[in-house]
Amino acid sequence: MRIVVLGATSAIAQAAARIWAERGEELLLVGRDPQKLEAVAADLRTRGGTVETVVHDLDRDQAGLVGRVGAPDVVLLAQGVFGDASRRDRDPEYAESILRTNLISPVRLLTLLAPALPPGSCIAALSSVAGDRGRARVGVYGASKAGLDSFLSALRQRLQGSGVRVLALKPGFVDTPMTASLPKTPLFASAAQVGRGIVRAVDMGRDAVVYLPWWWRLIMLAVKALPEGVFKRLKF
């Protein structure tokens, strides 16, 4: 299998890529920091994968990249930033940069990439449970993921019948560098656990929207069902 990992230095993407590497798959890693990218590639090679890297800023030039990835069997789209909560809420430039990385860049990339994908291939994009309902603490981040979810849903409908699957992966809290500053609760999953869930979802090709771990589906069902009048007063 040929797998393209966009945002390959993300902890969750690495966890999934490790499993693929150990199976001996062919990986193309895309990321913006050459040093980090090379460290990830060395790890995956040692684990048994065939690995190439492309240093590329996904925020800037999407068209240039699409030419280089060819026609992969799986695209794991994992670029994303969480951002600093206090800055996100006050600094419009900062808010926009988060939207650019988490929403605009994926939309542009997939718009260009989707028509080129062969039947039987799979787009797996990392979204988040934060996209299910806007919360004060993750306002801009949540909005970017809600936008992504909506776009993926549209894409899924559009590609119906073409043999290309579109997976929206929705992890809950994951213990990664992105959440290093948050206090850890029992709701946190490890990156390895989420990585296994991603690989399984791609293998089975069942669900269009996959919660990781699965029980977040139930939690978010309840959260979505709360009337706005109640929700706005909640402190979580």
Partner 1 sequence: MLPYGQGRSYGDSCLNDGGKLLRTAGLDRFISFDAESGSLRCEAGVTLGEILRLLVPRGFFVPVVPGTKHVSVGGAIANDIHGKNHHRAGSFGAHVRKLELLRSDGEAQELGPDDQLFQATVGGLGLTGLITWAEIALRRIPVAAVRMEAIPFAGMDEFLSLSEESDAEFEYTVAWVDVLSRSQRGVFFRGDHAAGAIHAPRGQAAVPLDVPAVNALTVRVFNAAYYAAQKLAGRSRLQHWDPFFFPLDGVAHWNRLYGRRGLLQFQCVVPTPEALRALLSEAPPSPLTVLKRFGPARSPGMLSFPRPGFTFALDLPNRGEETFAQLARLEALAMEAGGAIYPAKDARMSAETFARSFPRLGEFSAHLDPAFSSSFWRRVHR
* Active site members: 141
Tell me the C-alpha distance between 136 and 85, whole Å.
Answer: 9
**Residues 6+ away with beta carbon under 8 Å from 73:** 1, 2, 3, 118, 120, 121, 122
Least gap, CB of 40 to partner 1 (angstroms): 7
Nearer to partner 1, 105 or 176 (CB): 176
Least gap, CB of 42 to partner 1 (angstroms): 5
Q: Is 111 in the site for partner 1 (CB under 8 A)?
A: no
Q: Is 73 in the site for partner 1 (CB under 8 A)?
A: no
> Within 10 Å of residue 175's Cβ, how many Cβ atoms?
17
Q: Which stretch binds partner 1 (CB under 8 A): 42-50, 57-65, 139-147, 210-218?
A: 42-50
Which two three-digit tokens encode residue 234? 């909640």
Torsion of CA 207, 143, 55, 29, to 10 degrees: -10
Residues 153-192 that bind partner 1 (CB under 8 A): 177
**Cβ-contact 207, 167 below 8 angstroms:** yes
Among residues 42, 182, 218, 226, the one that binds partner 1 under rule CB under 8 A: 42
Q: Which stretch binds partner 1 (CB under 8 A): 38-46, 68-76, 97-105, 109-117?
A: 38-46
Nearer to partner 1, 116 or 178 (CB): 178
Q: Is 40 in the site for partner 1 (CB under 8 A)?
A: yes
**Cβ-contact 212, 170 below 8 angstroms:** yes
Tell me the C-alpha distance between 199 and 193, whole Å.
Answer: 10
Total chain residues near partner 1 (CB under 8 A):
9
**Which residues of this protein are in contact with partner 1, per CB under 8 A?**
11, 22, 39-40, 42-43, 46-47, 177
